[in-house]
Amino acid sequence: MPLSHDRIADDSDKARAWARVRANLRESAGVRLFDQWLKPMQLDEAGDADRVRLTLPSAFATNWVRSHYAERLFHEFRAILPHVRSVEVETAPTRATAAVIALSAVPAAAVAPIAPAADELERPALEPRYTFDRFVVDGSNKVAFNAARALAEPGPVRFSPLFLHSGTGQGKTHLMHAIGHAFMAAEPGARVIAMSAERFMYDFVAALRARDTFAFKTRLRSADLLLIDDLQFIAGKDATQEEFFHTVNEIMSAGKRLVISADRCPQALDGIEQRIVGRMAVGLVADIKAPSLELRRTVLERKVADLDAKVPAEVLDMLAGRITGNIRELEGALNRVIAYAQLTGETLDLDFAVTTLGDVLRGSQRHVTIDEIQKLVSTHFDLKPVDLVSARRARAVARPRQIAMYLSKRLTTRSLPEIGRKFGGRDHSTVIHAVRRIEELRDTDRDVDGAVRALMRELEG
């Protein structure tokens, strides 16, 4: 029941109404979302009696609540206090610089949207270190790097979306954040939103619970640059994928920039709807391959310079040679060695590094043999090991043989001629062809990529 039907609400009415609104929000939004975003709101009892003013401690929180709950707050107050004409959400304590969103009783169709001031646009939480000038480029990531630079340039959009894919810790997130930094530097007034696919799902579910999907849709679709990381996390989430598909369509139709990343190419994303996969293929798909030895060494050298530390070259060589697949793990190992040396006061040499990183090095140095690879591949494809070294060229044998050669190159230290000899005395050029062919198929053939992933997990496990 309304607190008053025949008079303008006074301050005590507002306070009682606010207590009820808070209770309703807590129930509909859930404890976690309420505590994080809505609980810090305070009622400012000063001002006009027919205007409710709510304040939050930061501009970021204010923008989020405006985007997600402004309309909901207005309707909640109106249901209790019919005399209220507007509900305003501001940043405390400065009124002069706060952009007020006032939802009046005028019909929605007659209300023109109020654009936020340039300095109050939502700012994405980008990692400051992840910029283009700090990204180490070589043949394994050059295409992805150049594509990211091109998308971040101001002016007409050359392609969208940009789809980046690679294994964990190989630079996808770095490039995405670098795009955000560069684009905001070139277009200071642009609206940039960066989030993980998991966050997209969480915010969408929260909007559904709050019966306020309009604000969620409006926020994302107003972005000039939308960055979505780790698309694979919404696999199998039908409702989330439906909303994601429409968001992608809106961004692309408006000619805006969209960047998406995943741990594999679009065609190999199990549980992702084909219409989403089709949208991804319209733009540019760029992969980041496992880092080369030279790249790993360069990354370590740059990290040492950043830390202003002294690390012997033989330690850097050992790290680059032993930790091969993950840049993030490589940097973490270097951080650990340097920190332990500083904390213990011991000399940072090769023996100290090996002792300190014993568990890390053992985990990354699984010794895989070509014989083991041939046995596992033949079992996986229901063949005999002798088939892989035979002269048979039937597709049922040739493709598994190429996969076995690819894995031998990836997981062992054997040279190309040595690998060729282990496969029936084949020439090293045959091994090169097999490796390149499987790399191409992993981007386009879900079955091949799935088989390679399954085999690598078993071999490295």
Could you tell me which residues are annotated as the binding site for ATP?
169, 171-173
**Other CB atoms within 10 A of residue 376 CB:** 18
Q: For residue 461, how many C-alpha atoms fall within 13 Å in the half-sphere facing its CB? A: 6
Q: What are phi and psi of 399, to 5 degrees?
A: -65, -50
Nearest-angstrom CA–CA distance, 63 and 18: 20
Cα-atom radius of gyration of the chain, to the nearest Å? 28
- Single-letter residue type at 298: T
> What is the token pair recorded at 385?
């090991």
Nearest-angstrom CA–CA distance, 57 and 54: 10
> What is the token pair recorded at 72?
């909901």
> What is the token pair recorded at 66?
């405006």
Helix ranges (DSSP H) in 345-393 = 350-356, 358-364, 370-380, 385-389
Cross-strand bridge partners of residue 225: 192, 257
Residues making up the annotated binding site are 169, 171-173
**First-last CA distance in the chain:** 64
